[in-house]
């Protein structure tokens, strides 16, 4: 970065407590870096503010074209980033404030009309006590809830899943508009025919950080219960983290050295080669913001089994791209049932097709386009007087319009923040901040004639959580995992 002159045109700041070079980097860091790269491709000047990392320069321009400025530690990165934004505030045209338990409180230092989006992955209230002493945990919980409410007020929030959106509203009580925008995926959707790429014998591959709340130990403990039915089962764990030594000891204590393989971190090519051979991926995580690893597995046609928990219940389509099981269902029983189904090649091929179709909807470019639209909308909102600003409502509607109703073949002109998807013979649109009555008014404003709006083929319905993720998705059950069988002695 060559000083202030470099950023006179349009400076976008992304603030996140870590970058991808940090040893503990995870999904939040991946999202911020992919957004930064996408904004650079659209001509923006982007700076990522983050904490110092041993062995990394304080300031550098990375290959994707954005600048990374590193300063401060686990806690001091927050005041340092505020000071940096205060110094450069007249050049800043937008801020993406990534909240990892504690946001950066950037509205305190940027200009009043500078758009700020809080990017929130999941609510951390329950995790503060797991990682910090009681007093620090209390301060963190206060900053996440009360502090955020005082500073962000009606600022727009980007939640990566419907579960996160619900947590923001119900547990944190934040008042701003909450828009669900799922992350993209680094993996290109596989074009392998059927399931020809998977291993000859059952193989489970799990990719992710080895940290406490992921509960990878539960997946390892499930293996002895699966081996009687699948003695040649292999479990491969890809990723690193503070739990790795304990997990390796657990493998030894259970005598599973021939069945469980802890690889540590692999480069992207090695990881993808291994993931491509999997029959199944399994997650016992206590909860996620979304489930980037779920979509990455799906992109190779690999279904994912997990407990019905926040984030995972949004990224997994039950019985179509994997299975969601109840809290009282033993993991070994569920895994065994899933593998039995996957031994049927036709069933496995149907699941693989559904997985790839689902994963193909989530791209970094698509996420970045929606975030850009929100920044522009937020800038417009802040430029209006308080009496002329929009009314915030959590309602959204899905409208379906046959293409033959479009006037002169032109698509309706919805707001930039609405999401439209063309499917065969119709347009499906997610209209945010709209109930079923005002949706028809929005259709007329978008250019449809009164007769077209009243056409019986035009449908308007209240959006479901799945519609917030993918408005054009339709439910099509593929195959079930049976409930726990009462006579199964392992069920206890």
Three-state helix/strand/coil letters over 63-89:
CCCCEEEECCCCCCHHHHHHHHHHHCH
**φ/ψ (deg, to 5) at 73:** -110, -155
Q: Which letter does DSSP use for residue 418 in this model?
A: S
Residue-by-residue pLDDT tens, the chain, 492 positions: 444 444 445 799 999 998 988 888 888 899 999 999 999 999 999 999 999 999 999 999 999 999 999 999 888 999 999 999 999 999 999 999 998 888 899 999 999 999 999 999 877 666 665 566 777 777 777 778 788 888 998 899 999 999 999 988 888 888 889 999 999 988 777 665 567 789 999 999 999 999 988 999 999 999 999 999 999 999 999 999 999 999 999 999 999 999 999 999 999 899 999 999 999 999 999 989 999 999 999 999 999 999 999 999 999 999 999 999 999 999 999 999 999 999 999 999 999 999 999 999 999 999 999 999 999 999 988 887 665 455 667 889 999 999 899 887 788 888 888 998 888 889 999 999 899 989 999 999 999 999 999 999 999 999 999 999 988 764 333 344 444 433 333 333
3-state secondary structure of 323: strand
Domains present along the chain, CATH in parentheses: 4-180 (3.40.50.2000), 203-362 (3.40.50.2000), 391-469 (3.30.70)
Q: What is the pLDDT of residue 131?
A: 62
Cβ proximity of 282 and 304 under 8 Å = yes
- Could you report the per-residue pLDDT of 164-222, keeping only the tens digit for each? 999 888 888 888 899 999 999 887 776 655 677 899 999 999 999 999 889 999 999 99
pLDDT in tens, 252-302: 999 999 999 999 999 989 999 999 999 999 999 998 999 999 999 999 999
C-alpha–C-alpha distance, residues 244 and 240, integer Å: 6
Tokens representing 47? Answer: 């700076």
Rounded Cα distance between 208 and 281, Å, is 11
User: What whole-number distance in Å separates Cα of residue 453 and Cα of residue 447?
Assistant: 10
Structure tokens at 272: 């993808």
Residue 101 pLDDT: 81
Cα–Cα nearest to 235, from 279, 294, 198: 279
Question: What is the pTM assigned to this prediction?
Answer: 0.86
Q: What is the per-residue pLDDT for 126? A: 66
Beta-sheet pairing, 45-50 with 11-15: parallel
What is the predicted pLDDT for the residue at 201?
Answer: 96
CA dihedral 228, 230, 232, 238 (to 10 degrees): -110
pLDDT in the model for residue 6? 47
Q: What is the C-alpha separation between 401 and 403, in angstroms, rounded? A: 6
Contact 27, 295 (CB under 8 A): no
Grouping H, G, I as helix, E, B as strand and the rest as coil, residue 149 is helix
Dihedral sign of CA atoms 294, 298, 302, 305 in order: positive
Which of 182, 180, 184, 242 has the alpha carbon at shortest distance from 209? 242
Beta-bridge partners for 11: 45, 92
CA dist 125 and 488 (Å) reads: 37
Phi, psi angle pair for 413, to nearest 5°: -100, 85
């Amino acid at each position: 970065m060559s000083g202030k002159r470099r950023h006179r045109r349009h400076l976008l700041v992304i603030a996140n407590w870590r970058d991808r070079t940090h040893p503990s980097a995870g999904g939040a860091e991946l999202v911020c870096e992919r957004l930064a790269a996408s904004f650079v491709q659209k001509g923006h000047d982007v700076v990522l503010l983050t904490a110092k990392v041993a062995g990394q320069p304080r300031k550098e321009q990375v290959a994707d074209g954005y600048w990374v400025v590193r300063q401060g530690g686990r806690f001091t990165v927050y005041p340092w980033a505020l000071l940096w934004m205060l110094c450069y505030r007249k050049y800043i045209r937008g801020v993406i404030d990534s909240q990892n338990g504690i946001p950066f409180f950037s509205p305190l230092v940027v200009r009043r009309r500078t758009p700020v989006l809080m990017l929130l992955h999941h609510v951390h209230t329950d995790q503060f006590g797991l990682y910090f002493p009681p007093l620090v945990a209390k301060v963190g919980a206060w900053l996440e809830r009360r502090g955020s409410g005082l500073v962000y007020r009606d600022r727009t929030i980007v939640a990566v899943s419907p579960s996160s959106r619900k947590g923001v509203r119900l547990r944190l009580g934040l008042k701003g508009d909450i828009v669900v925008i799922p992350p993209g995926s680094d993996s290109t959707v596989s074009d392998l025919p059927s399931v020809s790429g998977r291993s000859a014998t059952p193989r489970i591959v799990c990719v992710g950080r080895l940290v406490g709340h992921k509960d990878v130990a539960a997946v390892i403990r499930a293996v002895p219960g699966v081996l009687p039915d699948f003695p040649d089962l292999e479990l491969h764990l890809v990723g690193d983290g503070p739990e790795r030594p304990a997990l390796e000891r657990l493998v030894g204590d259970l005598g599973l050295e021939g069945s469980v393989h802890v690889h540590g971190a692999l480069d992207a090519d090695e990881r993808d080669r291994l993931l491509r051979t999997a029959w199944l991926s399994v997650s016992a995580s206590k909860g996620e913001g979304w489930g980037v690893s779920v979509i990455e597995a799906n992109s190779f046609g690999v279904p994912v089994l997990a407990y019905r928990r926040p984030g995972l219940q949004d990224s997994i389509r039950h019985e179509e791209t994997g299975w969601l099981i109840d809290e009282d269902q033993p993991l070994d029983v569920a895994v065994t049932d899933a593998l039995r189904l996957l031994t049927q090649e036709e069933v496995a091929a149907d699941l693989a097709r559904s997985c790839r179709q689902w994963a193909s909807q989530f791209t970094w470019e698509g996420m970045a386009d929606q975030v850009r639209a929100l920044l522009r909308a937020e800038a417009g909102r802040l430029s209006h007087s308080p009496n002329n600003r929009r009314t915030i409502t959590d309602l959204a509607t899905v409208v379906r319009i046959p293409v033959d109703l479009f006037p002169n073949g032109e698509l309706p002109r919805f707001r930039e923040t609405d999401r439209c998807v063309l499917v065969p013979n119709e347009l499906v649109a997610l209209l945010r901040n709209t109930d079923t009555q005002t949706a028809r008014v929005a259709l007329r404003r978008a250019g449809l004639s009164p007769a077209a709006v009243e056409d019986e083929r035009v449908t308007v319905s209240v959006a479901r959580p799945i519609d917030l993720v993918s408005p054009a998705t339709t439910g099509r059950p593929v195959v079930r995992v049976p409930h726990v069988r009462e006579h199964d002695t392992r069920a206890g």
